[in-house]
Structure 1
Amino acid sequence: MRTATSRRQFMTLLGVSAAAVSCGTAVGGGSGKQTKKLRYQGWAGQVTLPELAEDLGYLDDVKLDWVGNTISGPQDIQSAATGQIDFGGAFNGAVVKLAANGAPITSVISYYGSDKRAYNGFYVLEDSPVRSARDLIGKKVGMNTLGAHSEAMLDIYLQRHGLSQDEIDKVEPLVVPPVNTEQSLRQHQIQVGVLGDILRDKAVAKGGVRPLFTDFELLGAFSAGTYVMTDRFLRQNPDTARTFVTGVARAIEWARKRPREEVIARMTEVVKKRDRKEDATPLKYWKSFGVAETGGRITDKQLKLWIDWLAERGDIKRGKVTASGLYTNKYNDYRPTGTSSGSPAPSATKTRS
Structure 2
Amino acid sequence: MTLSSRRDFLALTLVGFASSAVGCGTASGGTETKTLRYQGWAGTVLLPELTADLGYLEDVKLEWVGNTISGPQDVQSAATGQVDFGGAFNGAVVKLATAGAPIKAVIGYYGVDEQQYNGYFVLEDSPVRGARDLLGKKVGMNTLGAHSEAMLDIYLERNGLSKEDIARVEPLALPPVNTEQALRQRQIEVAVLGDILREKALATGGIRQVFNDFELLGAFTAGTYVFTNRFIEQNPGTVRTFVTATAKAIEWTRTTPRAEVIDRFTEIVTKRKRNEDADTLKYWKSTGVAQTGGRITDDELNLWIDWLSDRGDIKPGQVKAADLYTNEFNDLAKTAKGQT
Q: Deviations over 1:75-123 (max 9, x none)?
A: 1111111111110000000100000000010000000001011110000
Q: Which runs of 5+ in 1 are unaligned?
A: 339-343, 348-353
Q: Which amino acid aligns with 1:13?
A: T
1:15 is displaced (CA, Å) by 1.2
TM-score with structure 2 length normalisation?
Answer: 0.97
Q: Deviations over 1:115-174 (max 9, x none)?
A: 011110000001100000000000000000011000000000000000011000000000
1:157 aligns with 2:155: yes
The equivalent residue for 1:276 is 274
CA distance in 2, matches of 1:306, 1:17: 18
1:115 aligns with 2:113: yes
CA distance in 1, matches of 2:335, 2:313: 42
TM-score with structure 1 length normalisation?
Answer: 0.93
Q: How does 1:26-37 map to 2 (within 5 A)?
A: 26-27=26-27, 30-37=28-35
Change (3 A) 1:299 1:178: same
The 3-state SS of whatever aligns with 1:224 is strand
Query: Percent identity among equivalent residues?
Result: 67
Q: 2:283 aligns with which of 278, 282, 285?
A: 285
Judge conservation of contact 1:13–1:75 (CA < 8 Å) in 2: no
The equivalent residue for 1:67 is 65
CA distance in 2, matches of 1:218, 1:185: 23
Number of matched residues? 340
The equivalent residue for 2:255 is 257
The runs of at least 4 consecutive aligned structure 1 residues that moved more than 6 Å come to none
The equivalent residue for 2:146 is 148
Q: Deviations over 1:299-350 (max 9, x none)?
A: 0000001001101101111222100110000000116989xxxxx9849xxx
Q: 1:331 aligns with which of 329, 332, 338?
A: 329
The 3-state SS of whatever aligns with 2:139 is strand
Q: Deviations over 1:44-92 (max 9, x none)?
A: 0000000000000011110001111111101111111111111000000
The equivalent residue for 2:2 is 2
Change (3 A) 1:88 1:17: closer
CA distance in 2, matches of 1:286, 1:19: 37
The equivalent residue for 1:350 is none
The 3-state SS of whatever aligns with 1:223 is strand
CA distance in 1, matches of 2:90, 2:334: 25
CA distance in 2, matches of 1:25, 1:345: 33
1:277 is displaced (CA, Å) by 0.3
CA RMSD of aligned residues (A): 1.7
Change (3 A) 1:299 1:335: closer
Q: Which amino acid aligns with 1:15?
A: V
Structure with higher helix content: 2
Change (3 A) 1:61 1:200: same
CA distance in 2, matches of 1:158, 1:169: 10
CA distance in 2, matches of 1:325, 1:31: 27
1:17 is displaced (CA, Å) by 5.7
Q: Which amino acid aligns with 1:271?
A: V
CA distance in 2, matches of 1:273, 1:259: 21
CA distance in 1, matches of 2:250, 2:113: 14
Of the structure 1 ranges 8-17 and 147-156, higher mean CA displacement relative to structure 2 is found in: 8-17
